[in-house]
Amino acid sequence: MDMQLHVRHWNPFSAFVSGLMALAIGLGVLYLGQLWRTHTQNQVAAMVKAQGAVVEVVPRTQTRNNGERSTLFYAVVEFRTANGEVIRFEDSTGSNPPAYRVGDTVEVLYDPQTPQSAMIDSWMIWLPSTVVMGFGGFIALMGGLALLDALFKLLKIGGLLGLLAFLLLHRRRGQHM
């Protein structure tokens, strides 16, 4: 029985290109997250704040593809607009356990043109863009490190660890002079 072992050699050029691609994709996702965040900021800036009260908590049960059932609780909020109109809306974000109880006071954001599309002012408004920016930043960081590592290996410095060792040795030699 003839067994052959194939050893794949590391190609610094393909690692360089892969790092460059990951950096570009990460920066693109980071940029999209920033656009989303800017859109959210502009949307919130155009809205008016009001005090609202949770008047009901609605449970909604969903059955997933695997047959598992889950229940999320959605706050129904009532508030008064600047011109005195009473608006009642159901928040678009549900949670389990419930984030709010009947009688809780909440800060509401609403568009004066369409007050029915109001939302509770909470950190959840910023979560989607923050997650996208975090993911893009992580991919860009990993791509940048891979790119630098491949670049230093192509320049025969020995990668990031080789550069770190070079800098530390150079610093020590400078202190002994």
C-beta atoms surrounding 28 within 10 Å:
13
Kindly report, residue by residue over 57-108, the tens digit of the pLDDT. Answer: 999 998 888 888 889 999 999 999 999 999 999 998 888 999 999 999 999 9
The residue ranges of every structural domain in the chain are: 12-39+128-168, 46-121
**What is the pLDDT at residue 171?**
74
Residue identified by tokens 């530390």 is 168
Q: What are phi and psi of 123, to 5 degrees?
A: -65, -20
Residue-wise pLDDT tens digits, 125-150:
899 999 999 999 999 999 998 888 88
- Residue 13, pLDDT score: 75
Strands 48-63 and 105-111: antiparallel
Confidence at residue 58, expressed as pLDDT on a 0 to 100 scale = 93
Mean pLDDT of the chain: 86
pLDDT in tens, 66-79: 888 889 999 999 99
Tell me what pLDDT residue 2 has: 61
Identify how many contiguous H helices and E strands the chain contains and give both numbers: 3, 5
Confidence class of residue 160 from pLDDT cuts 50, 70 and 90? low
pLDDT band at 10 (very low <50, low <70, confident <90, very high): low
Residue 38 pLDDT more than 90?
Answer: yes
Lowest average pLDDT, out of 109-113, 128-132, 169-173, goes to: 169-173
- Place 27 in a pLDDT band, splitting at 50, 70 and 90: very high
CATH for the stretch 46-121: 2.40.50
Q: What is the pTM of this model?
A: 0.68
Strand boundaries in the chain, DSSP class E: 48-63, 69-80, 86-90, 105-111, 114-120
pLDDT of residue 1: 57
HEC profile of 27-78: HHHHHHHHHHHHHHHHHHHCCEEEEEEEEEEEEEEEECCCCCEEEEEEEEEE
Average pLDDT of the residues in 142-162: 78
Half-sphere exposure of 120 (CA within 13 A, CB side): 22
